[in-house]
A and B are shown apart, each in its own frame.
Chain A
């Protein structure tokens, strides 16, 4: 079937682990990677007799996030118990929010190829995470399952988008923009590998123009931007083929297998859990003070999209560069530090986007923060170009060395003697040699092929090992040729 027969409809549920110091309902620490069950207490182990107490910081972070997405923060919300049996969940119910979430009705604006798109956000709520099952060797052969409750009770913020996303690329873009907001707010470390940000997707197809939604399939286990897009692309193809073949789509939950790049059925609707939600009787309704909400609103930092717009306006950057540079807090900070050190925003943006980001993943906060080339060093490099000390070509080599050694540009240029040759006398000799050695180019030039001069400039640059000042060489070549 030709493209465009069906419209893709996607909604994303994002679970973000909040960067609080203690867990959602107890005082246990939240550091990642501790020995199994070393960060647990009777409460997050679900011992008989324990009670939950709400982590105020988690509530603050959720309010902050809700405001950033323009959600309405409810004056009162409630926690509810969600029941199902699984050994990674010590109480066999999860404390979550159901009918009365913390915040509702907002949106995230993303910039797509056809301009800005507004993706609605239905709700945002708080809940606790579950533990992890661990198996020795592979799952099938393991003698027993072991449970690690370190993650049990970690604070999670679930945000459910409306089915406003129209393509797998857009889903990935939404998730990127979402993550950027959380990072700007400082409420989540955004580390997808460690599971700090997890995503489930609901996807359905419908005949283009139809008002009714098709049968949706939920895909779980999407732990990177790339996998979100891959899984959805696979699923769209699968559903398209099924619909084209006249089949009906089964409402089910599917799991993405990142290795094979396919989704596989996990459970169908008939086996869907009855979660038996009811208000958590161990917690009183959570009242959120309107004054505190306003304080939080006033204290919101600049958000990525606003920052992107500011970058374009203030630094005169093309949209693409502005987008790239505001993708993470670390990169934004990097760029602005560099621009503060040397006021050539466009050149610095170029060097970051075309050179630095080849070495460093723009999404990886830690990598950007820890890049061997410090922002002031990159600024120093651009400054050396701007004041004519080195050529752009040499600068690329210098940057490679900076990345390897962590030294600043000036030190490398001085030690390696990479300063541009701008001595007219020395350059004249090289120009003369080039003219003498390239009779054909000279003849071409005389015959009116002005481009032949470029070949001569190239020869001079080569002879100087790239250190000659290209502007001066160009001028000298033109002068000499004119005199011939």
Chain B
């Protein structure tokens, strides 16, 4: 398994070619994906056409950049023109978007070879990818276990060598948590840094486009190709995009690292505690100054998130009514048709959240729930501001537990609690990354989470990169097939 920067360096030197590499990936997918279940749709023809075009550019010595010819997978939440986009839901099972998401268009423009669309929890609601309407995805490190979610397919694809890099979406941890479970890098940039245009909305104020990669160098490349202002997304940030690769100096001397007390309490798996603390020690050994900080509102994160996210989801998902696209179940009249369509098209978790959200927004409850949750969000943001007045990055575990077994977390609340350490950065829109930091006794990967200041992706990348250079974890691969 090679990284994107290794692959494209080989393309430049003429040691391998985009078409040959794409064929290798399709061969691996054919051999292994029946087991892993990462892909919902494989776009072989389109990918090979893109690979051939890329190959032509390398032959003409005019590649478009460091992603030209890179085989990349997309979570099935991104609109892809002419390619079925299901969002993991029956209601969009046959939906073919007439347009490309901005990030898809940017990847195409960078010459990326898009291998296909990956499995996910329906409408990105879940932490295990078990809520997909279509199939189970297995963790390449232990096929009895979940890859995490909701972007489980994209994480498993990279971990299993079924894509060199991939994109998911992180709304409450949906990229960082599966990255931790699958032993790869997952980077959620600042809210608005990558356009959401064409990202099928779950919770608009929380949805982030986020890449998975084998290492931080690749992460920097994937961020660089997709970040930047988009006139089609009013919430996208207009600040210029820095050179992320240039930030990878390997130096963390003098970097101030904060360790939030609240992320190391009750409920944290002791093996994760040890691995993460060891990771923080590594940063200290590299010259970083480590200190304790406090984020007292952490305990309100999950509750707040489960008001805001379902409220926005209940609104965003109202459009699926059988009138315009996707599934339609006929009924005796309009209301009957809409009811039957939604009853048949949505899974249990989606329905649960639509009901939660509808309730939270109804007259009389709006202030008590949604209004109050937005106030708490402000308090959480202040906590972080206070911490970032003293430190440059925060270091913490990504998840309280390692990958769990399929069916293990049948209780929705137990599943929700898995996002306790990832939700705060989602609610505040702060950039955060999960990097592999070891394995538990059973050989399951553990993630170290670093959280940064708004738009300070360069510092996060620098810290993560330095850590990665000093540790072997990112080079470990699961044995598949």
> A392 at interface (Cβ–Cβ under 8 A)?
no
Q: Contact at A91–B196, with CB atoms within 8 Å? A: no
Interface-side segment among A11-19, A179-187, A274-282, A407-415: A274-282
Within 8 A of B (CB), among A181-203: none
Q: Contact at B324–A51, with CB atoms within 8 Å? A: no
CA gap between A47 and B80 in the complex, in Å: 12
Contact of B319 among A46, A145, A274, A276 (CB under 8 A): A46
Which residues of chain B are within 8 angstroms of A166 by Cβ–Cβ distance? Answer: none
Q: Which of A48, A90, A274, A284 has the most CB of B within 10 A?
A: A48
Q: A49-B201, A50-B197, A274-B363 are in contact. Are A282 and B315 (CB under 8 A)?
A: no
CA gap between A51 and B198 in the complex, in Å: 8
Within 8 A of A (CB), among B106-164: none
Q: A48-B97, A283-B235 are in contact. Are A147 and B311 (CB under 8 A)?
A: no
Within 8 A of B (CB), among A52-76: 52-54
Q: Contact at B204–A48, with CB atoms within 8 Å? A: no
> A297 at interface (Cβ–Cβ under 8 A)?
no
A-B contact count (CB 8 A): 100
> A45 at interface (Cβ–Cβ under 8 A)?
yes
Closest Cβ of chain B to A470, distance in Å, is 72
Which residues of chain B are within 8 angstroms of A45 by Cβ–Cβ distance? Answer: 324
Which residue from chain A places its CB closest to the CB of B338 in the assembled complex?
A85
B-side interface size class: 35 or more
Q: Contact at B366–A278, with CB atoms within 8 Å? A: yes
Which residue from chain A places its CB closest to the CB of B192 in the assembled complex?
A284
> A445 at interface (Cβ–Cβ under 8 A)?
no
CA gap between A113 and B407 in the complex, in Å: 78
Closest Cβ of chain B to A220, distance in Å, is 19
> B393 at interface (Cβ–Cβ under 8 A)?
no
Which residue from chain B places its CB closest to the CB of A279 in the assembled complex?
B374
> A87 at interface (Cβ–Cβ under 8 A)?
yes
Which residues of chain B are within 8 angstroms of A309 by Cβ–Cβ distance? Answer: none
Contact of B235 among A83, A274, A278, A282 (CB under 8 A): A282
CA gap between A54 and B95 in the complex, in Å: 27
Q: Contact at B233–A281, with CB atoms within 8 Å? A: no
CA gap between A53 and B196 in the complex, in Å: 13
Which residue from chain A places its CB closest to the CB of B311 in the assembled complex?
A278
Q: Contact at A48–B366, with CB atoms within 8 Å? A: no
Contact of A53 among B232, B315, B321 (CB under 8 A): B232
Which residues of chain B are within 8 angstroms of A90 by Cβ–Cβ distance? Answer: 319, 323-324
Interface residue count on the A side (C-beta < 8 Å): 29
Which residues of chain A are within 8 angstroms of B78 by Cβ–Cβ distance? Answer: 49
> A81 at interface (Cβ–Cβ under 8 A)?
yes
Q: Contact at A49–B338, with CB atoms within 8 Å? A: no
Which residues of chain A are within 8 angstroms of B234 by Cβ–Cβ distance? Answer: 51-54, 282-284
Provide the B337-362 mask, 1 if CB < 8 A to any CB of A, else 0: 01000000000000000000010011
Q: Contact at A46–B315, with CB atoms within 8 Å? A: no
Contact of A93 among B205, B233, B318 (CB under 8 A): B318
> A42 at interface (Cβ–Cβ under 8 A)?
yes
Closest Cβ of chain A to B309, distance in Å, is 11
> A344 at interface (Cβ–Cβ under 8 A)?
no
Which residues of chain B are within 8 angstroms of A51 by Cβ–Cβ distance? Answer: 196-197, 232-235
CA gap between A47 and B98 in the complex, in Å: 9
Provide the B287-329 mask, 1 if CB < 8 A to any CB of A, else 0: 0000000000000000000000001101100111101110000
CA gap between A243 and B203 in the complex, in Å: 50
Query: Which secondary structure dominates chain B's binding surface?
Result: loop
Provide the A78-90 mask, 1 if CB < 8 A to any CB of B, else 0: 0001010101001
Within 8 A of B (CB), among A6-50: 42, 45-50
Q: Contact at A87–B370, with CB atoms within 8 Å? A: no
> A478 at interface (Cβ–Cβ under 8 A)?
no
> B92 at interface (Cβ–Cβ under 8 A)?
yes
CA gap between A53 and B366 in the complex, in Å: 26
Q: Contact at B101–A49, with CB atoms within 8 Å? A: yes
> A92 at interface (Cβ–Cβ under 8 A)?
yes
Which residues of chain B are within 8 angstroms of A85 by Cβ–Cβ distance? Answer: 318, 321, 335, 338
Q: Contact at A93–B315, with CB atoms within 8 Å? A: yes
Which residue from chain B places its CB closest to the CB of A86 in the assembled complex?
B334
CA gap between A278 and B335 in the complex, in Å: 24
CA gap between A458 and B413 in the complex, in Å: 102
Which residues of chain A are within 8 angstroms of B319 by Cβ–Cβ distance? Answer: 46, 48, 90-92
Q: Contact at B99–A83, with CB atoms within 8 Å? A: no
CA gap between A93 and B324 in the complex, in Å: 14
Which residue from chain B places its CB closest to the CB of A276 in the assembled complex?
B361
Closest Cβ of chain A to B7, distance in Å, is 29
> B51 at interface (Cβ–Cβ under 8 A)?
no
Which residue from chain B places its CB closest to the CB of A275 in the assembled complex?
B363
Q: Contact at A42–B99, with CB atoms within 8 Å? A: yes
> B461 at interface (Cβ–Cβ under 8 A)?
no
Which residues of chain A are within 8 angstroms of B198 by Cβ–Cβ distance? Answer: 49-50
Q: Contact at B79–A48, with CB atoms within 8 Å? A: yes
Q: A93-B315, A283-B234 are in contact. Are A278 and B361 (CB under 8 A)?
A: yes
> B387 at interface (Cβ–Cβ under 8 A)?
no
Q: Contact at A42–B321, with CB atoms within 8 Å? A: no
Within 8 A of A (CB), among B150-209: 196-201, 203-205
Q: Contact at B204–A282, with CB atoms within 8 Å? A: yes
Closest Cβ of chain B to A53, distance in Å, is 5
Which residues of chain B are within 8 angstroms of A48 by Cβ–Cβ distance? Answer: 79, 85, 87, 92, 95, 97, 200-201, 319-320, 325
> B254 at interface (Cβ–Cβ under 8 A)?
no
Which residues of chain B are within 8 angstroms of A42 by Cβ–Cβ distance? Answer: 97-99
Q: Which of A42, A45, A47, A49 has the most CB of B within 10 A?
A: A49
> B231 at interface (Cβ–Cβ under 8 A)?
yes
Q: Contact at B95–A83, with CB atoms within 8 Å? A: no
Provide the A262-288 mask, 1 if CB < 8 A to any CB of B, else 0: 000000000000101110011110000
Closest Cβ of chain A to B427, distance in Å, is 13
Which residues of chain A are within 8 angstroms of B370 by Cβ–Cβ distance? Answer: 278
Contact of A49 among B79, B312, B320, B321 (CB under 8 A): B79
Which residue from chain B places its CB closest to the CB of A87 in the assembled complex?
B323
Provide the A319-360 mask, 1 if CB < 8 A to any CB of B, else 0: 000000000000000000000000000000000000000000
Closest Cβ of chain B to A225, distance in Å, is 34
Closest Cβ of chain B to A24, distance in Å, is 13
Question: Can you list 14 A-B contacts with CB-CB less than 8 angstroms, sorted by A residue number?
Answer: A46-B319, A48-B79, A49-B101, A53-B231, A53-B233, A83-B318, A85-B318, A85-B338, A93-B318, A145-B334, A274-B363, A281-B235, A282-B204, A282-B234
Chain B: residues with CB nearer than 8 A to chain A? 78-79, 85, 87, 92, 95, 97-99, 101, 196-201, 203-205, 231-235, 311-312, 314-315, 318-321, 323-325, 334-335, 338, 358, 361-363, 366, 370
List 20 other contacts, CB 8 Å, given A48-B92, A53-B232, A284-B234: A42-B98, A47-B99, A48-B79, A48-B85, A48-B87, A48-B201, A49-B79, A49-B97, A49-B197, A49-B200, A50-B198, A51-B233, A83-B361, A85-B338, A90-B324, A91-B319, A92-B318, A281-B203, A281-B204, A282-B233
Across the A-B interface, give the 7 residue pairs with the lowest CB-CB distance, nearest first.
Answer: A92-B318, A281-B204, A276-B361, A281-B205, A48-B200, A49-B79, A49-B198
